[in-house]
Amino acid sequence: MDAITYLDGKWIEGNPPLYGSRDHATWLASVVFDGARTFDGVAPDLDLHCARTVHSAHALGLNPTLNGREILEIAREGIAKFPSGAELYVRPLFWAEEGWVDPNPDTTRFSMLIYLSPMPEPVGFSACLSTRRRPAPDMAPTDAKAACLYPNSARALREAAGRGFQNAVMCDPIGNVAEFATANLFLAKDGVVHTPALNGTFLNGITRQRIVALLREKGVTVAERTVSVDDINEADEMFCTGNQSKVMPTIRYENRDLQPGPMYKLARELYWEFAHKYG
């Protein structure tokens, strides 16, 4: 068994169909989701990911049929069906079946997919500056983890791959750095960690919040501020935070080779320590 899906109160092995061809979700992407991780027998911040799914549903105009605590219980039940220590991806989602452009909130449905997904080795990744930008809050539902936002990130990744890179730095509509195409962005310069200030163009990632808090508790200065392209060109080190790999170093940016630096190493060490203590 490599995947199970929760649908209509039952667990189904594999990848069953969820939408019909006429469903609003199929036609107009009224889908929100979240992602959590289990590894080494822990599931850090699983409750926060479940709660954010509900927030995203409200933000997209859906009427979530479960609350965060109920979603958490379902997630734990599903995780328990796999061997202890399995590396899993946990993906709850809500979608609408009906609506005319605007989804009909009374047709909201829920599902959860849990599947085997090995944690990436922390070997690092390359990135370039993308020509694609994150939308402003008045341009898209940027306050939700919504499926409709991801084709733009996919275009950034496709562009980066065409240039020989694995990820892309995306700016906001006025040209300041927002995030990587798939994760939140951090850089370090002269022993200070910097990350783009929240401006509504990207999600305040749960792992991002955790890393900011852990570093500050350790006495590291973390500046949440406007980050320019020049800032990342001059950074001593860069790394990302996100659910897929948690904390991962950037080892090349454009034509600069970078090394996994002390701030990245500390951030990853602190996160793994937190995960195994509280996850």
For the domain that residue 91 is a member of, what is the CATH number?
3.30.470.10
Q: What is the pLDDT of residues 14-43, one digit of tens each?
A: 999 999 999 999 999 999 999 999 999 999
For residues 88 and 132, state if they share a domain. no
Tell me: pLDDT of 1 over 90. Answer: no
What pLDDT is stored for residue 195 in this prediction?
98
Q: What is the mean pLDDT of residues 172-199?
A: 98
How many structural domains comprise the chain? 2
Residue 208 CA to residue 212 CA, distance in Å, equals 6
Query: What is each CA distance from 265 to 193, 195, 225, 249, in whole angstroms?
Result: 12, 16, 22, 9
- Is the per-residue pLDDT at 226 higher than 90? yes
In a shared domain, residues 163 and 98? no
Report residue 130 CA to chain centroid gap: 19
Domain boundary among 72, 98, 116: 116
* Percent of the chain clearing pLDDT 90 (strictly above): 99
On whether both 261 and 131 belong to a single domain, the answer is yes
Both 260 and 139 in a single domain? yes
Over residues 131-181, the pLDDT tens digits come to: 999 999 999 999 999 999 999 999 999 999 999 999 999 999 999 999 999
pLDDT for position 102: 97
Q: 247: domain range?
A: 125-278
* pLDDT at residue 228, as a whole number: 98
Side chain identity at residue 117, one-letter code? S
Which residues 6+ apart lie within 8 Å of 143 measured at CB?
Answer: 56, 59, 137, 200, 203
For residue 278, what pLDDT is reported? 92
Give mean pLDDT, residues 41-69. 98
DSSP string, 199-240: -SSS---HHHHHHHHHHHHTT--EEEE---HHHHHT-SEEEE
Residue 120 has a pLDDT of 96
Contact assessment for residue 15 and residue 5, using Cβ atoms and an 8 Å cutoff? yes
Task: Judge contact between 33 and 53, C-beta under 8 A.
Answer: yes
At 263 the pLDDT is 98
The mean of the pLDDT values for the chain is 97
- Do residues 111 and 171 share a domain? no
Considering the domain architecture, whether residues 97 and 213 belong to the same structural domain is answered as no
pLDDT exceeds 90 at position 222: yes
Q: If you average pLDDT over residues 74-100, what whole number do you get? A: 97
Residues 145, 110 share a domain: no
Backbone dihedral region of 54: left (phi > 0), alpha (psi from -120 to 50 degrees) or beta? alpha
Q: What is the pTM of this model?
A: 0.96
What CATH code is carried by the domain that includes residue 231? 3.20.10.10
Q: How far apart are the C-alpha atoms of 144 and 53, rounded to whole Å?
A: 8
In this structure, the answer to whether residues 86 and 56 fall within a common structural domain is: yes
